[in-house]
A and B are shown apart, each in its own frame.
Chain A
Amino acid sequence: MIVLQHILDAINIGGLYAMMALGIGLIFGIMRLINFAHGEMVMAGGYALGLLATLPAPLAIVLSLAFIIALALLIEQATFRPLRGQDPASLLVASFAVSYFLQNLTVMIFGARPLPFSFAPGLAETIEIAGLRLPLLQFVSLGLVIVALAGVATLLKHTALGIQLRAAAEDVVTARLSGVKVNRVIAFAFVISAVLAWVVSLIYSAQIGQLSPAMGVRPLIIGFVATILGGLGSLPGAALGGFVVGAISVLLDAALPASLRPFREAFLFGLVFVILVMRPEGLLRVRALQERV
């Protein structure tokens, strides 16, 4: 029973991280930009849902989703597009600045104190299935994770725009030569990434039960670890990385003595460090980043 519980936990957490990693990986693949502000997409989604909680659920969902997508596109147009073509370090710093900006804008508007999150409070009720007593939220989030990941996979594999996106992520010049409109494809990537962030924000906010301006930092950091693990530039790798981190997370929680458990983050990032060092060429294996002598 406990094992089943752990497995369910791992899938849930892994799915969450996989979605974060995908959101980050999508943008990186096509723009070579690590979007630190992705965490703030999650935060914004949470606040939007929280504010709209008084509306009927379907309306709240649609409006908050629209808001996140609009926000993502705005960020792309206003900050990342003018910076296109600059070196990766500048892009990294810029996304860091956007993240900081959004966090503190939220502080300005809503204050720094955490707000209670009460969207669909029915989700916290426990139900019993096969002898397990679990909150409804876990099942809902499991369902959402599966739908979201399957949806993204379908979009990328079976729609024309998805194929164009993957083409541009691999070789933007060749994609251009085939008539692919790169701006459109980038916007598409941001939209998908925003939707993924929205799903994460629903689940995550419900899990922690409150909203705070810096709430997006933890999911971002872990999504980041997952992306690096799976290999920057590889989308299936990002998703896989998410599940692996979820599994490692649950494993560490179960296996580590209580005194060491808080060091989980240190371990995770220690892992990032080791991976980066052991396979520095292999990790960033996107060919465009390697220089010819």
Chain B
Amino acid sequence: MDRTAVDTRNALTARGVGVHFEGLRALEGVDLELARGEILGLIGPNGAGKTTLVNVLSGYLKPSEGSVELDGHPTSGWSPHQFPRRGLGRTFQAARLFPDMTVLENVEMAGVGIGLPRSQARDGAAEILDYLGIAGRRHVTASALAYGEQRLVGIGRALAIKPRYLLLDEPAAGLSPQEAADLLTRITAIRDRYGCGILVIEHNMQLIMKLCDRVQVLTRGKTISTGSPAEVQTDAAVREAYLGATDQTGVRVRERAQAAATQDRAPLLKVNNLVVDYGSVRALSNVSISVGRGEFVAVIGPNGAGKSTLLSAIAGLTRAGSGTMSYDGRPLSAEGTAARVERGIALVPEGRRILSNLTVEENLRVGQTTRRSEPDATRRFDEVLERFPVLRPRLKGHAGKLSGGEQQQLAIARALLAGPTLLLLDEPSLGLAPLMIDSVYETLSTLSESGLTILLMEQNANRALMAADRAYVLRHGTVELDGEAGALRVDPAFDRAYFGFETRVGEATP
């Protein structure tokens, strides 16, 4: 689609922005244009670099290469606090209000921040709160607000700087469908009132597609698509970016010989109506899943669905508000993490969380903490090294020097040394190159075939569905769909469950 040349004096532009740290390329060669008066959606799977890009645009991060211009002025030497006076406002993924201050003071702070006297800033703040419809809450302390209100106040605070450009980072996260719809109307109204350009990062696809004039898709730090919502929605490359490659020739689909047998036996892990709240946000609402002995189960869902929260609750790191969990017939609720590890639950956390100051061998030894004194500890150690041959020559080296794929293997090996009966994995494919992902899933398939029960959380749906027996689709903290993995892969209801709308060409958008 053609765009008329953007007037750089009235636009926020990024050219060739790249960000590298610690050997990781978070962004590479990214261009972006936000003109005043337009609403641009920025989407992409977890780890794509969206928030990193917003941090570059608002001065919180210096790009390793490329440049950013605000109304034609290069921003390279600016500190973050200089941007608001030039008309750039932003919000944060976690509202980040000033917790001990009232709603009014939160918004007043922005006016004072750009140099207004307090009385003027306060009047301006009162007016904004009025406009947003929350004037009645102005004397409430920010930490006491409900989640949706917090986000709204965050937006109000950004409005107080009289923005020419507004960067909103996941404004709809944690909102109910009704609240999200209200937000949609509000954002459009704000654009009309202030004439500002608005950039919205979101995982809520429905919101993005209805709200935005244009959409830009990031994956692995690069732009893979830009265009109107309709174009992006039906772009196969975009669907693939989220769900993983559909064309996976050469990948072995796992033998599922025992699939039928496991149905009858009592499940190894049973989660019933689990509710988890983070403050006023409901992360999981009445989630029920079960994992049979020897099964390979995947929980698929977009970012923010609550997958990590679910694993965290099972591992004992997060307390549930209500609901029950049982493992091997006995309840799980009261025990701490160490006890659960001893009972046989091992978790490979998101991002692997390797102890980079320790050697590879020491990382493994830590994993063996609970089984250290058992007679077959040495044998188990050797067995694990057999399974991950790439680790043996690196035993004495620092774990921080391993590549992403090798680190993932180390993380799994570490978990296996605890002799688990249930292996939990949080996004094992995150940040890995496709070849590495295959290798990891090979390992998991082999483990499953040897009888280990596996429960994993994934965004990369296609890959997970090829390896798993059964899967659940989690979105906004609820289970939308579940069934046999093979069936789900081709089920038309899958996309709707995952994205909230259809993505295949020819289907009407809701």
Contacts and interface: CB of A to CB of B under 8 A. Distances in A.
Interface string A156-188: 000010011011001101111111110000000
A108 B170 CA distance: 60
Interface residues of A, number: 17
A3 interface: no
A181 B370 CA distance: 10
B372 A160 contact: yes
Contact of A177 (B51, B60, B349, B358): B349
A181 B355 CA distance: 17
Nearest to B424: A177
Interface string A35-73: 000000000000000000000000000000000000000
A78 interface: no
The residue in B317, B337, B415 that gathers the most chain A C-beta atoms within 10 A of its C-beta is: B337
Given A160-B372, A170-B358, A177 B315 contact: yes
Given A163-B362, A166-B357, A166-B358, A177 B372 contact: no
A178 B341 contact: yes
Interface string B309-340: 00000010100000000000000000001100
B319 to A, nearest CB: 14
A21 to B, nearest CB: 18
B341 A179 contact: yes
B365 A160 contact: yes
A174 B399 CA distance: 14
Contact of B365 (A163, A171, A293): A163
A177 B355 contact: no
The A contact surface, by secondary structure, is helix
B347 interface: yes
A167 B414 CA distance: 13
Contacts of A181: 338
B342 interface: yes
A180 B367 CA distance: 9
Contact of A179 (B357, B358, B370): B370
Given A160-B372, A171-B353, A293-B55, A178 B366 contact: yes
A177 B372 CA distance: 15
A173 B355 CA distance: 11
B369 interface: yes
A293 B55 CA distance: 8
Contacts of A179: 337-338, 341-342, 369-370, 418
Contact of B341 (A160, A164, A170, A177): A177
B338 A175 contact: no
B140 to A, nearest CB: 25
Contacts of A177: 315, 317, 337, 341, 346-347, 349, 353
A179 B315 CA distance: 11
B285 to A, nearest CB: 25
A178 B369 contact: yes
A103 to B, nearest CB: 35
Contacts of B342: 179
Contacts of A175: 355, 366
A30 B166 CA distance: 41
B92 interface: yes
A170 B356 CA distance: 8
A163 B337 CA distance: 19
Interface of B: 51, 55, 60-61, 92, 315, 317, 337-338, 341-342, 346-347, 349, 353, 355-358, 362-363, 365-367, 369-370, 372, 414-415, 418
Given A167-B362, A167-B363, A179-B338, 5 more contacts: A160-B369, A174-B353, A176-B317, A177-B341, A179-B418
Interface of A: 160, 163-164, 166-167, 170-171, 173-181, 293
29 contacts: A160-B365, A164-B366, A166-B357, A166-B362, A167-B362, A167-B363, A167-B366, A170-B356, A170-B358, A171-B353, A171-B355, A173-B317, A173-B349, A174-B353, A176-B317, A176-B337, A177-B315, A177-B317, A177-B337, A177-B349, A177-B353, A178-B367, A178-B418, A179-B342, A179-B369, A180-B338, A180-B369, A293-B60, A293-B61
